[in-house]
Structure 1
Amino acid sequence: MYLHGTSKINSKGHLEIGGCDVTDLAEQFGTPLYIVDEELVRQRAREFVEAFRGTGLRHQVAYASKAFCVMAMCRIAEEEGMSLDVVSDGELYTALQAGFPVERIHFHGNNKTAEEIVMALDAGIGCFVVDNFIELDLLNTLAAEKGKMVNILLRITPGVEAHTHDYISTGQQDSKFGFDLGNGSAFRAVETAIAQSNLKLLGVHSHIGSQIFEVEGFRMAVEKVTAFAVEIRNKLDYTFTVLNLGGGFGIRYVEGDSPLPVAHYVQAIADAVIATCSGAQFPLPEIWIEPGRSIVGDAGTTLYTIGTSKDIPGVRKYIAVDGGMTDNPRPALYESRYEAVVANRANDQVTELVSVAGKCCESGDMLIWDLKLPAVNSGDLLAVFCTGAYNYAMASNYNRIRRPAVVFVRDGQADLVVARETYHNIVGNDIIPARLQKQAVAK
Structure 2
Amino acid sequence: MSVSQTSPRQLRLGLFVQALGHHVGGWRADGAQGSPTDIDWFTWIAKTAEQGKFDMFFVGDALATSVHRLPSTMSRLEPLTLLSALAVQTRHIGLAATASTTFDEPFHLARALCSVDHISGGRMAWNVVTSFSADAARNFSREDLPSHADRYEVAREFLDVAFKLWDGWEEGAIVRDKHSGQYSDESKIHPANHKGKHFQVQGPLNIARSPQGRPVIIEAGSSPAGQQLAAQTAEVVFTAAASLEEGQAFYRSQKQFVRDAGRNPDHLLILPGVMPIVGRTREQAQAVWDQLNELVDIDNGIEQLSARFGTDMRAYPLDGPVPEIAATEGSQSRVKLLTELAARENLTLRQLAAVAAGSRGHRVVVGTAQDIADDFQQWLEQGGADGFNIMPAVLPEQLQLFVELVIPELQRRGLFRDEYQYSTLRENLGLPPVTDNFAAVAALASEKE
TM-score relative to the length of structure 1? 0.33
Higher relative contact order (CA 8 A, sep 6+): 2
More strand as a share of residues: 1
Over alpha carbons, which structure has the higher Rg?
Answer: 1
